[in-house]
Amino acid sequence: MPATAEATHDVVVLGGGSGGYACALRAAELGLSVVLVEKDLLGGTCLHRGCIPTKALLHAAEVADAAREAGRFGVRASLEGIDMPGVRSYREGVVARLHKGLQGLVKARKVEYVEGEGRLDGPGTVVVGDRRLVGRHVVLATGSYARTLPGLEVGGRVMTSDQALGLDEVPSRVVVLGGGVIGVEFASVLRSFGSEVTVVEALPRLVAAEDPASSTALERAFRKRGITVRTGARFAAAQDGPDAVTVRLEDGTELEADLLLVAVGRGPVTDGLGYEEAGVRLERGFVVPDGPCRTGVENLWAVGDIVPGLQLAHRGFAQGIYVAECIAGLDPAPVDEATIPRVTYCDPEVASVGLTEDQAREVHGDAVEAYEYNLGGNGKSQILGTQGFVKLVRVVDGPVVGVHMVGSRMGEQVGEAQLIVGWEAHPDDVSPFVHAHPTQNEALGEAHLALAGKPLHAHN
């Protein structure tokens, strides 16, 4: 902050998404004066274009599958079709209620909310229109955008998740470019809605950041659902014509579709915002951190998707809270990336926390043991008609360092898994806890029983 500029607020937060608003709310709760700057809608990507609306779509997809497959459960019902305007109003209703609640919270905590595009003008000042907001501290929380590939222009039948959210009819044929998190979630929704779906992924497997066992199970389940999975396939070009978009792969294959969904990652929003001019080092657009959430410039912080690491809303919330507490003079523990849970909400869900088996072997050498409990032995999973597993990765005679799960609704089990990994529990620490029967949670309990040498509904 230039010596002449007098602070208008204790904290200026630039960006009102998960990281930014969490920081603003916590800072206000701690008695600091806070201004939150947002150019679009309070709640950011997660609330308006990401987590919440896509999970609403996934729930509508689950309802469609339940109707389609009702006969399996002896229930006479049939799926007449998908009413996309109806899906839209359900989705928008969920988002609107949460948005209103969040606006109420910001108001109640007396955070000053400034609508407009802000830009850093030196380390301590954010300019929004004709206002200069000078903070004792400034928090950068400008989030991320959906990337595309060089030469692949978004428009017409070529969409990212931003546009695909608002589809007003179900496309007959879809090519999903990228078999990461967004790619498989949209593939799952659109297949449930009745589209023919092909996923094109350059790497050898879907959800490549997960344990290979999870990728294999997901690919098998997707194939069973009639989703075509092309792994090890690289995109070459796309041409949007009058009747269809033609997608060409590097091996010469041509695929025709009514929609090409581009899901090749999200890039940080840091360009042209005055960050580098203020002394922040950027690498491929990401802030190069100098300590947890630190930018290398005094009293200038960064949280969320602009900080390299997992681009997840819950990581953003935790970082925002951490920074607010640091600014308030508390001594919080930095956010531990290693115990952040990951859930991909396709059907079947993929959930994990901690190390994959390969990562564990890199860290602990041969002293690693893995155990896979098949959901075939889990009563509730059989009732639901889902397949999958709970895989535990542990250090021999030591703690569980990774939990990997596949199966409908298994994302809900990640809470216990994260406590086990975070508290470095041994199977013997977990096995005495009685898990409720019949729940899917029991599968986690039984996997630990088996690793502790006393399997019930499983082989050792």
Q: Looking at beta carbons only, is 146 or 360 nearer to ligand NAI?
A: 146
**From the CB of 367, what's the least distance to ligand NAI, in Å?**
30
Q: Looking at beta carbons only, is 349 or 446 nearer to ligand NAI?
A: 349
DSSP secondary structure, 104-119, as one string: HHHHHTT-EEEES-EE
Euclidean distance between CA atoms 110 and 290, whole angstroms: 31
The H or E element spanning position 165 is none
**From the CB of 152, what's the least distance to ligand NAI, in Å?**
9
**From the CB of 339, what's the least distance to ligand NAI, in Å?**
15
DSSP secondary structure, 260-287, as one string: EEE-S-EEE--TTSSTTTTT--EETTEE
- Mark residue 14 as left, alpha or beta (left: phi above 0; alpha: psi -120 to 50; beta: remaining): beta
Please state whether beta strands 196-201 and 300-302 pair in parallel, antiparallel, or not at all (unpaired): unpaired
Of the residues 314, 437, 448, 457, which is catalytic? 437
- Percentages helix, strand, coil for the chain (3-state, rounded to 5) are 35, 25, 40
Beta bridge partners of 439: none
**From the CB of 60, what's the least distance to ligand NAI, in Å?**
16
The H or E element spanning position 321 is helix 313-327
Contact 411, 343 (CB under 8 A): yes
**From the CB of 30, what's the least distance to ligand NAI, in Å?**
29
**From the CB of 146, what's the least distance to ligand NAI, in Å?**
7
Q: Looking at beta carbons only, is 302 or 368 nearer to ligand NAI?
A: 302
Q: Looking at beta carbons only, is 265 or 379 nearer to ligand NAI?
A: 265
**From the CB of 203, what's the least distance to ligand NAI, in Å?**
4
Residue nearest to ligand NAI as judged by C-beta position:
180
Euclidean distance between CA atoms 436 and 411, whole angstroms: 17
The H or E element spanning position 176 is strand 173-177
Sign of the torsion angle spanned by Cα atoms 198, 200, 204, 206: negative
Contacts of 250 (CB under 8 A, 6+ apart): 233, 234, 235, 236
Q: Looking at beta carbons only, is 125 or 161 nearer to ligand NAI?
A: 161
Exposure b/e, 425-443, CB count within 10 A at least 16 = b: bbbeebbeeebeeebbbbb
Residue 238 CA: distances (Å) to CA of 170, 273, 369: 21, 32, 45
Rg, C-alpha atoms of the chain: 24
Is there a catalytic annotation at residue 99? no
Residue type, 69: E
Euclidean distance between CA atoms 143 and 316, whole angstroms: 9
SS3 159: strand
**From the CB of 335, what's the least distance to ligand NAI, in Å?**
15
Binding site for ligand NAI (CB under 6 A): 149, 177-183, 185, 200-203, 208, 234-235, 263-266, 311-312, 343-345
Q: Looking at beta carbons only, is 264 or 451 nearer to ligand NAI?
A: 264
Q: Looking at beta carbons only, is 129 or 232 nearer to ligand NAI?
A: 232
Q: Looking at beta carbons only, is 138 or 200 nearer to ligand NAI?
A: 200
SS3 179: coil
DSSP tag of 304: G
Angle of helix 212-224 versus helix 181-192 axis, rounded to 10 = 20
Q: Which residues are catalytic?
A: 437
